[in-house]
Amino acid sequence: MKLLGIVLVIFSTSSLGYLFALKYKMRRWILKSMISSLNLFKIEITYSKAPLGEILMAISRSSDKSIKFVFSKTGMILSQNEGYTAGEAWEIALNEWDNGYLKKEDVEILRSFGYGLGNSDVYNQEKNFDLAIELLKRQLSNAEEESKKNEKLYKNIGVLAGLAIIILFL
């Protein structure tokens, strides 16, 4: 009986720790996926010069499911021809996107990227992409540092807290 209690306590506290740590991992993952999708996006615009709506749909198909929504939603809004520009559609998609793992700055980078989306020539589109990708990369290395520090910390705290409770109650 006592043993079962010990196991339960340790299990619950350490999973709490993992949950906190997961937040860091997910942010890293989303940023990484976003960077690679934007890279693909950039190539499509500069090389194939296909219409934006088509590109967005193609990108959403090849994107990780954590970020798929932004591209597919933007593409969908554009395809409905309701008079939204790409920038506006992107903004709507971002607002509807469930991105609890990202920090506010990360989303702001994507938001300002949207303002320049599709409204200039290839050269300036490329610059807009490069800027966003560069900034996201910086966020990513920040995120990596943070997670290096905190991920382990939270996991350890979880386990240790469990142990502490057990020692206290024994």
Partner 1 sequence: MNTRKNFEEVLYALPPSVREVIIKIPDDLLQEVEEIRLRVNRPLTVYLKNEEKFVSKEGTISFSPSLAYIVTSEDCEKALQLISKSSLYAFEEEIRNGYITLKGGYRVGIVGKCVLENGYIKTLKNISGYNYRISKEIIGVAEGILKYLTTPSKDIYNILIISPPQCGKTTLLRDITRWISNGIDFLGFKGKKVGIVDERSEIAGCYNGIPQMDVGIRTDVLDGCPKAYGMIMLIRSMSPEVVVTDEIGKKEDIEAIHEVLNTGVKIITTVHANDIEDLMKKPVLKDVISLRYFERYVILSNRLGAGTVEKILDENFNTLFKGPYRRGRTEK
- Binding site residues, partner 1, CB under 8 A: 45-46, 49-53, 78, 81-83, 85-87, 89, 117-122, 125
Backbone angles phi, psi at 130, to 5 degrees: -60, -40
Q: How far is CA 91 from CA 37, 112, 126, 151, 158, in A?
A: 17, 9, 20, 31, 38
Q: How far is the CB of 29 from partner 1 (least distance, A)?
A: 29
Residue 54 and residue 94 in contact, taking contact as beta carbons nearer than 8 Å: no
d(CA 160, CA 1): 21
Say if CB 154 and CB 18 are below 8 A apart.
yes
Give the closest residue to 125 by CA, choosing from 70, 43, 5: 43
Q: 130: how many CB neighbours lie within 10 A of its CB?
A: 13
Q: Return the number of the residue (21 or 77) whose C-beta is nearest partner 1.
A: 77
Toward partner 1, which CB reaches closer, 34 or 55? 55
Rg (CA), the chain: 21
Q: Which is nearer to partner 1, 129 or 154 (CB)?
A: 129
Residue 150 and residue 156: Cα distance in Å, rounded? 10
Q: How far is the CB of 117 from partner 1 (least distance, A)?
A: 7
Q: Pick between residue 42 and residue 103 the one whose CB is nearest to partner 1.
A: 42
Nearer to partner 1, 132 or 157 (CB): 132
